[in-house]
Structure 1
Amino acid sequence: MGTQFWVKGTVLCKTGAQVVNATGPELDKFIGKISYGLFHGQRLKQCGLGGRPFRFSFFPSLMEVIPASLHISVIFFCSVLIVFSSVASAFFMYNAFGSPYETLHGPLGLYLWNFICCSCSCLVMILFASEVKFHRLSEKIANYNESTFVYKTYTERFDRSFWIILFTFLSHTLNILLIRLAGIQFPFQEAKEATVNTGASDLMY
Structure 2
Amino acid sequence: MASSRQKTLLFTAAGVLGFGCALAAAVSTGLPLWVDALMLCRTGAELVNATGAELEQFLGAVSYGLFTGTRVRHCGLGGRPTRFYFFPDLLAQIPAGLHVTVLVLCCFVVLFSALGSGFFFYNAFGRPYHTLHGPTGLYLWSASSGCSLLVLVLFGCEVKIRRLSELISNFNESTFVFQTHGERYERSYWLFFLVSFLQATNVLLIRLSGIHFPFHQKEPTDAETGAADLMY
Q: TM-score range by the shorter chain?
A: 0.7 to 0.9
- For the pair shown, the structure with the greater C-alpha radius of gyration is 2
Instruction: Pick which of 177-186 and 11-20 moved more.
Output: 177-186
Residue in 2 aligned with 1:136? 163
Q: Quote the offset at 1:94 in angstroms.
A: 2.2
Greater relative CO (CA pairs within 8 A, separation 6+)? 2
In structure 1, list runs of 5 or more residues that go unmatched: 194-205
Sequence identity percentage:
53
Count of residues paired in the alignment:
189
Q: Would you say the 8 A contact 1:107–1:187 is kept in 2?
A: no
Residue in 2 aligned with 1:42? 70
CA–CA separation in structure 2 for the residues paired with 1:7 and 1:188 = 39
Residue in 2 aligned with 1:12? 40
CA–CA separation in structure 1 for the residues paired with 2:217 and 2:161 = 44
3-state DSSP class of the match of 1:46? coil
In structure 2, list runs of 5 or more residues that go unmatched: 1-28, 221-232
Q: Would you say the 8 A contact 2:38–2:180 is kept in 1?
A: yes
3-state DSSP class of the match of 2:81? strand
Residue in 2 aligned with 1:119? 146
User: Which stretches of structure 1, 4 residues or longer, exceed 3 Å deviation after superposition?
Assistant: none
Q: Quote the offset at 1:95 in angstroms.
A: 2.0
Instruction: Pick which of 44-53 and 70-79 moved more.
Output: 44-53
Q: Quote the offset at 1:20 in angstroms.
A: 0.9
Residue in 2 aligned with 1:198? none
Instruction: Pick which of 18-27 and 28-37 moved more.
Output: 18-27
Give the counterpart letter for 2:216 in structure 1. Q
CA–CA separation in structure 2 for the residues paired with 1:137 and 1:154 = 13
The one of 11, 27, 32 equivalent to 2:60 is: 32
Q: Quote the offset at 1:93 in angstroms.
A: 1.9
Residue in 2 aligned with 1:202? none
Give the counterpart letter for 1:138 in structure 2. S
Residue in 1 aligned with 2:181? 154
Instruction: Pick which of 178-187 and 70-79 moved more.
Output: 178-187
